[in-house]
């Protein structure tokens, strides 16, 4: 099973994990790390390193999800950029996590990462315009 580490500013990641569990139930191999005001880059990197070491030899790999590229959570994950069993994706959102959990036992690490990125990109929509387009099409039938 591929593990997930979600690292975000504040408790955003913890709340995402809670939302996933409301939808899909309790999940194993999912960690949420929060960065708060007085937390530092080194401390955060150490926490990630400890998680990565847990069962690393048996693990199929881990995907680190961060909230935004260039922030401290992303920078803390860069220490592991050369680890072949680690992928790092920014812009974490609920559809990405749900997709990842649904396919993490069926797909290899690189393929799962690609699928998760696609889902993240596809999930960003102008909801108002999409709705208005649908209504317009229905009226024209």
Catalytic residue among 9, 14, 79, 117: 9
Nearest to 60 by CA among 113, 104, 12: 104
CB atoms under 10 Å from CB of 135, counted, come to 10
CB atoms under 10 Å from CB of 124, counted, come to 9
* 57-91: pLDDT as tens digits: 667 999 999 999 999 999 999 999 999 999 999 99
Residue 36 is among the residues annotated as catalytic for this protein: no
Total of domains in the chain: 1
pLDDT on residue 37: 86
* Structural domain boundaries, residue 129: 3-139
Torsion of CA 91, 9, 98, 21, to 10 degrees: -170
Torsion of CA 59, 64, 65, 71, to 10 degrees: 170
pLDDT on residue 53: 87
**Single pTM value for the model:** 0.91
CATH number at residue 23: 3.40.50.510
């Amino acid at each position: 099973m591929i593990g997930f580490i979600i690292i975000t500013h504040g408790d955003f990641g913890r709340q995402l994990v809670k939302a996933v569990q409301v939808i899909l139930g309790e999940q194993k191999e999912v960690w949420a790390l929060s960065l708060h005001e007085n937390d530092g880059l080194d401390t955060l990197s150490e926490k990630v390193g400890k998680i990565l070491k847990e069962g690393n030899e048996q693990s199929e790999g881990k995907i680190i999800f961060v909230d935004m590229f260039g922030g401290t959570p992303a920078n803390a994950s860069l220490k592991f950029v050369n680890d072949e069993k680690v992928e790092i994706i920014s812009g974490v959102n609920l559809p990405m996590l749900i997709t990842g959990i649904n396919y993490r036992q069926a797909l290899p690490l690189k393929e799962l990462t690609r699928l998760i990125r696609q889902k993240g990109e596809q999930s960003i929509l102008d909801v108002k315009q999409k709705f208005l387009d649908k209504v317009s099409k229905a009226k024209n039938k």
